[in-house]
Amino acid sequence: MDAAVKLELRTEAPLKGRTEGGGPDVSSFTLDNGLDVVVIPDHRVPVATHMVWYRNGSADDPLGQSGIAHFLEHLMFKGTEKHPAGEFSKVVSSLGGQENAFTSFDYTAYFQRIARENLKTMMEFEADRMSNLMLEEAVIAPERDVVLEERRMRVETDPSSQLSEAMAASLFLHHPYGIPIIGWMHEIEKLDRAHALDYYKRFYAPENAILVVAGDVTTDEVRRLADNTYGRVAPHGARPVRFRPREPEPVAARHLTVADPKVEQPTLQRLYLVPSSGTADGRDCHSLDLLAEVIGGGPTSYLYRKLVLERGLAVNAGAWYMASAMEETRFSVYAVPAQGVSLEQLEAALDETLKQMVAEALDFDAIERAKTRLVAESIYSTDSQSSLARIYGSALAIGETIEDVRRWPTEIEAVLKDDLASVAERFLLLRRSVTGYLKSAS
């Protein structure tokens, strides 16, 4: 599907918004077979967003089978006994709906947006493919070719994606977050029906899934519909175990270069290994979120001001933090050099700027403005039904709670200047980092 592996292929920040404290009246319950259900009422228009999230992503791919989570996402469109390949998509489209699916490091999700009266039909189809996928031999090789072509187009021929992959692989010495979501080419090539079947049987279970319905629905209605569709899927007896190794403490600053004749605009990127929502102590995760906004959130941020406006060394500069992750994650700073400025010069300037960050960037006004921007962004995001569904679905899929999501703006407001200085001093260290140059081949 189109949106697959998006997280990996862009260098901008991932989805940031959360709901403000006074957000929608979200409810949740669990079916007898273990399926978790979240209902997010939104009665403004007579539509519904229907998503199923599975608690397995590329970081759960068995060793040597990188890409299997994403391959399975493709294969989920290849038909069940009841519904041949393509029928589900045709129905969605004939009803004027939209659909999509995506695979990330920690989860895989399937999505439709339809008129509210068609919700039951979506549930029937989605529940059906939760346990009745055919996975015929005949569909495997052609779909694998589709994925291989996807990788060729998105990575092999795109130096910027190659840099992202190389940087992640260097940042994560041990954890599978260093393996591309789409998989390594030579391992995708070997994925076969047996791998897909094993994977499907292991992870596609009601206990491992979260149904999120946002829209013009009531909790009772969703419960009744879910019972009659998903409720009939046999439980596996237990949620599948996901094992993730932990990263060793980083000791060496790393640096790498991708040089390619296709590169027209050189860029400088840096990743730091930092705690995530799943691993951070105390206020660290919220502090990192706010720090990224203060130093790198748009044209009023510290890095942009220093490198672009004051010194004229860059045409763009910023920072982002991938907060939502089960294990240690990425904090990034980046800059695009102005004409005539080398990446080496720009990196030196970036490092000087970062050295002065605690003294210069963390003033009260800048922090307050960043809080306002972040919280406003999270309020705007609640305006979109599908954003809301994604926010709750992704949070639950990585082990957070509805309460975590609701509390997010309050937690951001509570971050103090000292918290920002503290995370900067503990985590934005060169030995925790990988610096990447993208440049034209000489």
Q: Which residues are catalytic, by number? A: 73
What CA dihedral angle connects 417, 422, 427 and 430, to 10 degrees? 90
Contacts of 198 (CB under 8 A, 6+ apart): none
Tokens representing residue 225 in the block = 């519909």
Closest C-alpha among 377, 312, 371 to residue 13:
377
Interface residue with its own copies among 236, 254, 306, 406 (CB under 8 A) is: 254
Given candidates 2, 137, 241, 251, which one binds its own copies under the rule CB under 8 A?
Answer: 251
- What does the per-residue mask of binding to its own copies show for 44-83, with x meaning CB under 8 A? -------------------xx-x-----------------
Burial level of 33, CB count in 10 A (0-12/13-18/19+)? middle
CB of 350 vs its own copies, minimal distance in Å: 16
Distance in Å, CB of 288 to its own copies, minimum: 22
- Nearest-approach distance from CB 120 to its own copies, in angstroms: 42
Nearest to its own copies of 164, 385 (CB atom): 164
**Dihedral sign from CA coordinates of 238, 239, 244, 246:** negative
From residue 119, give the alpha-carbon distance in Å to each of 165, 232, 310: 38, 17, 54
Single residue of 173, 315, 358, 429 touching its own copies by CB under 8 A: 173
Closest by Cα among 154, 163, 191 to 258? 163
Cβ-based nearer residue to its own copies, 163 or 366: 163
Considering only residues 413 to 442 of the shown chain, the ones binding its own copies according to CB under 8 A are 436
Which region, judged by CB under 8 A, interacts with its own copies, from 95-103, 120-128, 166-174, 359-367?
A: 166-174
Q: CA-CA distance, 180 to 158, in Å (whole number)? A: 14
Instruction: Give Cα 352 distance to the centre of its chain.
Output: 31
Q: Which of 82, 246, 355, 426 binds its own copies (CB under 8 A)?
A: 246
Q: Which of 248, 264, 340, 442 binds its own copies (CB under 8 A)?
A: 248
Residues in binding contact with its own copies, number by CB under 8 A: 33
What b/e sequence results for 58-78 when a residue is b if at least 16 CB atoms lie within 10 Å of its CB, and e otherwise? bbbbeeebbbbbbbbbbbbbb
Binding site residues, its own copies, CB under 8 A: 63-64, 66, 162-163, 165-167, 169-170, 173-174, 178-179, 184-187, 243-246, 248-249, 251-258, 436
